[in-house]
Amino acid sequence: MIEQQQLTPAIFLDRDGTLIEEVNFLSRVDDLRIFPFTKTALEQFSAAGFLLFVVTNQSGIGRGLFTAEDMQNIHKALREEFGSLIRGFYYCPHLPDAGCDCRKPNTALIERAAGEHNIDLSRSWFIGDKDLDIQTGVNAGLKTCLVLTGYGMEHKETLGSLPTLIADNIGEAARKIVTFLQD
């Protein structure tokens, strides 16, 4: 008899404006600014049993503004800062009108991560600062949290779908989600 592998919940995180300060088409590690509360939030999520993944649209690659290597250097810097807290970085390099299935709000990147890491989507969350992030979570059947950093304040007023939670930042999101689990 083959034992069924345990599925684990995950937190899918937008990158720019959620984990780090929004920099339009971030292409240089020198311009990377991590919010001071991000690492503690990631530690709280991890301690609560979540696997953590970054899911990000990076159309700057498709636009020729920076290379995939430039983006990988930023992700390498984030790995160095956060250690093994983030299990993987999933990105879409395509232009908004490319018609791909990996660009948020499509769910191919979440589905790929779920398949590769045995994720229980019914117990997972998507956290981001844009309507696009909330819609991605809804499309994937996840609980959602809008953070008011980055574009969050602006997008709060025009959301197509209401998030499960709204938080001032990723730090407050971690506290609310961990509390949400305990209720």
* Stretch 91-104: mean pLDDT: 96
pLDDT tens sequence across 32-82: 999 999 999 999 999 999 999 999 999 999 999 999 999 999 999 999 999
The domain segmentation of the chain, as residue ranges, is: 10-120+129-182
* Residues designated catalytic: 14, 16
pLDDT tens sequence across 149-172: 999 999 999 999 999 999 999 999
pLDDT number for residue 75: 98
* Stretch 2-14: mean pLDDT: 83
Nearest Cα to Cα of residue 104 among 74, 129, 71: 129
Quickly name the fold that domain 10-120+129-182 has.
Answer: Rossmann fold (3.40.50)
Beta-ladder partners of 10: 51
Read off the tokens for 41.
Answer: 């939030």
pLDDT number for residue 183: 66
Distance CA 127, CA 119 (A): 16
Distance CA 16, CA 54 (A): 10
Q: Is the pLDDT of residue 138 over 60?
A: yes
